[in-house]
Structures are given as structure tokens and as C-alpha cells.
Homo-oligomer: A and B are copies of this chain.
Amino acid sequence: VIVGLGGGIGAARLWRALLDRVDPGELTLITNTGDDLWWYGLRVCPDLDTVLYALTGRQDTERGWGRRGETWRTRDALRELGEQPWFNVGDLDLATHLYRTGALRAGHRLSEITAELAAAAGLRARLLPMTDDEVETHVALACGRAVHYQEFYVRRQAADRVLGVEYRGAADAKPAPGVLEAIGAAERILLAPSNPLASIGPILAVPGVRDAVAAAAAPVLAVTPIVTGVPIGDPAEQRRADSRAALLDAVGLPNTARSAAELLRDLLDCFVLDSADGKNFDDTGLGMGVIAAPTLVDEQGRFPRDRRSGRDLVELLLTYPEEQG
């Protein structure tokens, strides 16, 4: 079994490519829930839903989040009531949150509900929340306020200076059933190119998870979410980059691929940086394998093959270290 750890869009891209190559039944995807929020009484899990929609062909791939063919009737009706919802929930997306919230209120656990939502959508890979408990990533802004990560990212467009990151509730959270077992039994552990502090950080902050990854017999590989050698074209990508940079800055790290690697220093066998950054990367003292590959998807959502090796990112991740030479 391959175990993936990750957040939303970055993870969804890699897991989608992985699903084309491996038996879905052999894939367990442990997903960040630190972005989860209560929205008008509904529990919204942005990362779980992004992964779920992306892996079941229902994602709006142009927008990068939410469902394809989405409409906004309810949101517009909320505006008529004088509300200004900054978090965008469409009419199709709402059904997911209603299902989840109804089941939570009936006493079911997020992990059970997530399995039901995945089964209803025909996802054969195993999708696990990092925890069934409520953990919320909050960021301390330079203005003195601490806000939910989604408020920083969506409402404030990741435009603030951030002074600190806190995973509220994490210290008292338990890994969801199956999380530690999957990590312990994994043949390979992959950390997705997700925001190091907003997406990977919360998962590793759930007591027991970081230790389990560190102790795992399987090779542990991470793909960099930070690519400095390729200009960012798209405003949504720019916002993701701004958010990564702001949170790294809050912990005193520069916005480089090396920072992403350093945060995982105790865990990784191998760090995959982008081919475009190969020459700028200083691996002095990192203490892990470092390889380069094209880590950015093309317009069809595919990872290009590396010119030298002829392999793409997924192939490298699946064969390391045997095929490294």
C-alpha cells in the first residue's frame, strides 16, 4: 500500500496522476483537515472535498476547486439576505456539506462519513481525514488578530504578513482510525506538494503521526510545493505561493524548496525538487536523498517526463531508490 499525505490542490494533482498508475485499492490518502471550518452551521472540509472531487472527475479543473458545472443560487440568496459570504459554497458542493453535517450531528465520525462520500462517488482509493477531531489552523496576522487559515487565504487573499501559525486542537486530537496503521504498514509514503505549514504541518501535528512516519520502514518521499525557477502565471497559483511564503516567513524560513525539505528533515528519505530549481538547490547537510523532476503539471493536468531520465514524477516516486543511479 502506498500512503499519501497532503492537502488540497497540490495533493489532488499528484494523487490523480498516481491513480492512473497504481491499483486504487493500494492507495491510502491521509488528508489535512486543518482547513475545515463551520460555515452557517455546516461543516466544510475543503481539502477532503478537493481531493474527492478531483479523483472522481467532478472537480472544476479550470478553477481548481469546487465542482464542475457548479451554480450559486443559494449563495446569491444569502446575499439577498444581506450576507456577504466570503467562503464560496456552490449548490452542488452544498450537498456534500449537508450530508456530512447531518451525519456528524447524528454522531458519526468524519472518517466514516468521508468513506461514505467516497463510496457514493465511486472512489476506490481510501480517503482518510488526518483526525476525526476538530483541528483548525489559525494564523496570527501582523495587525494583531488571529484568523482561521481559510479567512487569511480566501477572504484576505493571503495578502497579510503572518507572524505565527497555530494548529488549534491538534495537541488533543487523535489520528483518525486507520491513519497510524496505514503509515506503519505502508510500502511507500509520499508527501504531496502541498503547503508545508498549512497542509502538511497540521497532519504531522496530530500526536503520533509524525512519529509514525519517522518510524516507518517504508521509504518516505516528499515533492516540493515550492518552485522558484519557473514564473507563476496564474493568479490562483500566485495566491497559493503567497500563502506558502507568508507562513514560512512566520517561522523564519525563506520561501525556498530547501525550507520545505528542512521542515521534513527528520522524516524524509528523499526530497524531490523541481528540475527548474536543480542548480539553485543547496543540499549541504540536509541528510536525505535529493532528486529533481518536473513537478508542475501541464495544461492537461499531467506531469511531464524528465528530459534526461525519460521518467515522470510518478514513475520516480514509485521506483526510488532502485532506479536512481
Contact A105 B74 (CB under 8 A): no
Residues facing B in A60-94 (CB within 8 A) are 71, 73-75, 77-78, 80-83, 91-92, 94
How many residues does chain A have at the interface if contact means C-beta atoms less than 8 Å apart? 30
| A120: B residues at CB distance < 8 A | 80-82
Give this chain's copy count: 2
Q: Is A98 an interface residue (CB 8 A)?
A: yes
Q: Please, how many angstroms separate the alpha-carbon atoms of A39 and B101 in the complex?
A: 9
Q: Is A102 an interface residue (CB 8 A)?
A: yes
Contact B77 A92 (CB under 8 A): yes
- Nearest CB to that of A71 among chain B residues? B73
| A98: B residues at CB distance < 8 A | 40-42, 74, 78
Contact A117 B38 (CB under 8 A): no
| A38: B residues at CB distance < 8 A | 105
| A73: B residues at CB distance < 8 A | 71, 73, 91-92
Contact B99 A81 (CB under 8 A): yes
| A92: B residues at CB distance < 8 A | 73-74, 77
10 contacts between A and B (CB under 8 A): A38-B105, A41-B104, A71-B73, A71-B91, A74-B98, A77-B91, A77-B95, A80-B95, A81-B117, A82-B120
